[in-house]
Structure 1
Amino acid sequence: SYDILDVQGPATLDGTLNVTLLGGNPTAGTDFAIVMATGGLGGTQFSTVNFPAPASDWSITYNTNDVVISYQTALPVELIDFKVFKEKTHILLEWRTASETNNRGFEIQSSVGSLQSTVRNWKTLGFVAGQGNSAGQHDYQFLDKNPQPGINYYRLRQMDFDGRFSFSKIISVEWDGADGNGFSVFPNPVSRGVLYLEMPFQNEKEWELTLINAIGQTVRQASFQNVETSVYEWKIPDLPTGVYWLQMQDGQRSWAQRVVVK
């Protein structure tokens, strides 16, 4: 059993919350709704929360009408290395575990944005099976075959067979397109609101152009087909100065280039 603050109406949170155990630790994966307010909490939070040691086993979640604290012991997978490498046409992720217990495997998740962004929309790229139970080191790899223009962020969601999970640290790499495709953009930096795209072949399919700013927002789009010359002129006036990524695709091929606007 535990104490609950039940408010009929709105409530405002402030001050210090001290969490004290009167017996042993609760069962791992247990949630405790310690505050409930029928009129909502108005986005307020406790200024300080003190959990029993080790505090890393505890977390607090502020919802619209309640506050929930959760107890979750650390998952028994020791991740000792997690790296990212930019290859010619893809991004390679490598990681190593020192030991594994009850490890179902790893979801590989990615997000694209700027270094200043604090909110990320994560998507799952794939899954790599774990070793279950192992006392030795194991190496893993995953290929992101379709990295996006800009800074690509990656993390691992390690999953146990009993449904528990934890996240790795976040690593990142900047992707400005695959090498050796023959496309070129000029002038770069762009100074007069006109961008020229030179292609190594005559295009028969419709190409889609997308210009993305440093925080992942689409700021310009265009399409073209059957251009008589190998150079396509794209007028992009009134763009703020900064770094952008030009993405070009025809449904089968995809190419990206870092573009600077002065």
Structure 2
Amino acid sequence: MTSTPLRRLPFFLLAAALVAALAPASVQAQSPDTTINRVAPAVNITVDGESDGEYLNSQTYMLDEYVAGGGNNEYPEGSESRRDLQGEFQALWTSDTLYYFITAVEDSLEYDTAALGTYGNDDDSYEIYLDGDNSDNTDDGDFFCLYDGSNDFQYIFHDGDETVGYCNRSDQDGPGKSASLNGINYAEVVDSTDGANEDTVFTEVAIPWSTIGVTPAQGDTVGTDVQFNEHDDGDDAREYKIAWADGNDDAAGQPVAMGNAVLADESGFIPVEFAGAPTPSVDGDDVTLAWRTLSETNNAGFFVQHKREGASNWTTASDLVPTKAEGGTASGEIGYRHEVTGLAPGRYQFRIQQQDVDGDLAAGPATKLIEVSGGEEFALKAAHPNPLRAGETAVLDVSGVAHAEDVSATLYNSLGQEVRELSVDGGEITVAPKGLSSGLYFVRLESGENTASQSITLVR
């Protein structure tokens, strides 16, 4: 730990000089949607735990959700309790890196190795949560860890060390990805002013986008939260934490609990202000997207994009949908619709990408994963010919599966023993009798959660 003169007083210390009870009302409070500005071209950020002006074009957000102590997501009563722990954060981005600058003031910063616990968040520590593609996975009632295994992360920073949360551990029993800490840069500065009876902790974190697994673009939305854990009483568990977005301590396993942040330009300007994610309407293998804009500036139009579950990149599924704003600029609400047809069965996210008159692109917020059933019902048709004789080949028709990589087929004997794997080609499965003895066999088709079986009798 290092002590250094303050380069920048946190907002809430300045406010305390004006009011007896600390009140963060003049700083932008937690909102489900916010912006993270791009780093200005002339600014070079050095990760040293000091804010020397790099974050001047960044908004400040309060950690004003009170969790796991003090009752019901509210600060304890009384100004002394409210001053026991306060925090704020700022964030910026470049094409390579996502930056956080976090400030906390607490009555006593003490790092207790005995209280560190398995994941580091039972002691005084920071947590940063990220849902890189804003997939917003939510609780299905069966399991807490709903990280998508690709872009969802919980990072914990404690006394110069970094670790990851339970749902990012390789030994946990959920679908989370074992997160890499390679390339993450972290610096902490602690100021313990004599006579102040409190410590101010400045933490700066640089997280490469390559670690998160996404390629950022202006207008993209990421899920995020910043939290600080408080541990004072000497036992082996934290007393409580403060957070920006998650008031129920769910973000450690459920990305939907994170706040949403739109990547903006250096000034925070976004060419098109969307009213939210598009609203999808599914009809078989067709999806109609409806979206609204609240304002448009120099807008040429929109592209509809989708991304199938597990895919890395977005697919553009439309030609340019022209803007309805006269001259590309409007300050009032405008509605749009577009239909995407012929989708393969699966789960998809959808978003609208905006193109301005200069050709620059910016994406709006994405939907949650939407189930698309496809134009045909999943089915495995009866084999023909059946019975099957030497010199013949049985054919079983498959429907409701668009891609061979999404399906598997296996041949079993009457004892339930696997005999061979079969190929699905052109919507058909073929079974040749070579190497098989007479008897009853079963073909089992699997695609995701769907299964189907048909029997074949081989006669020699």
* TM superposition score normalised by structure 2: 0.31
Number of the residue aligned with 1:10: none
- 2:369 matched to 1:177? no
1:13-92 to 2 correspondences below 5 Å: 16=49, 18=51, 20-21=53-54, 43-47=182-186, 71=266, 73-81=268-276, 82-92=278-288
Q: Which amino acid aligns with 1:149?
A: P
Structure-2 separation of matches of 1:79 and 1:158: 10
In structure 2, do the counterparts of structure 1 residues 71 and 45 end up closer, same or farther at CA, with 3 Å as the change threshold? farther
- What is the aligned residue count? 182
Distance 2:280 2:314 in 1: 17
- Distance, in Å, in 2 between the alignment partners of 1:111 and 1:71 is 28
Structure 2 counterpart of 1:106: 302
Map of 1:54 onto structure 2: none
User: What is the distance in 2 between the residues matched to 1:155 and 1:169?
Assistant: 6
- Structure 1: gaps spanning 5 or more residues: 6-13, 35-41, 50-58, 65-69, 188-194, 200-206, 214-218, 228-232, 245-257
Q: Please name the residue that 1:143 is paired with.
A: 339
Q: 1:184 to 1:168 in 2, by over 3 A?
A: same
Code of the residue aligned with 1:221 in structure 2: it is: V
Q: Any conservation in 1 of the 2:285–2:372 contact (CA below 8 Å)?
A: no
Q: Where does structure 2 lack aligned partners over 5 or more consecutive residues? A: 1-41, 59-92, 98-180, 189-205, 212-264, 383-394, 408-421, 431-440, 454-460
Partner of 1:123: 315
Indicate the residue corresponding to 1:56 in structure 2: none
Q: Is the 8 A contact 1:84 1:91 kept in 2?
A: yes
CA contact (8 A) 1:91 1:144 kept: yes
2:370 counterpart letter in structure 1 = V
Q: 1:139 to 1:259 in 2, by over 3 A?
A: same
The whole-number CA distance in structure 2 between the counterparts of 1:196 and 1:125 is 32
- AA partner of residue 404 (structure 2): T
Q: Distance in 2 between matches of 1:33 and 1:111?
A: 22
Structure whose residues are more often strand by fraction: 1
1:221 is matched with 424
Cα shift at 1:123: 1.3
- Secondary structure of 2:289's counterpart equals strand
C-alpha distance in 1, partners of 2:272/2:424?
A: 45
Partners in 2 of 1:153 and 1:209 — Cα distance? 18
The structure whose residues are more often helix, as a share, is 2
Deviations 1:198-254 (A, max 9, x none): 88xxxxxxx9872616xxxxx9532478x9xxxxx99348x7xxx52xxxxxxxxxx
Q: CA deviation at 1:112?
A: 0.8
Supply the distance in 1 between the matched residues of 2:49 and 2:348 (Cα, whole angstroms).
38
* In structure 2, C-alpha distance between the alignment counterparts of 1:96 and 1:33, rounded to whole Å: 31
Aligned with 2:322: secondary structure? strand
Between the aligned partners of 2:351 and 2:359, the Cα distance in structure 1 is 18
| TM-score normalised by L of structure 1 | 0.51
Structure 2 residue aligned with 1:260: 451
What displacement does 1:146 show?
A: 1.9
Change (3 A) 1:63 1:120: closer
1:47 to partner: Cα distance: 3.1
Deviation above 3 Å: which 4+ runs of structure 1?
1-5, 14-19, 21-25, 30-34, 59-64, 162-165, 183-187, 195-199, 233-237
Amino acid at match of 1:259: N
- Counterparts in 2 of 1:48 and 1:184: CA distance versus 1, 3 Å: same
Alpha-carbon distance in structure 2 between the residues aligned to 1:92 and 1:123 = 16
Deviation string 1:53-91 (CA, Å, 9 cap, x unpaired) is: xxxxxx975679xxxxx7363314221142001024511
Identical positions, percent: 19
Q: Which amino acid aligns with 2:443?
A: K
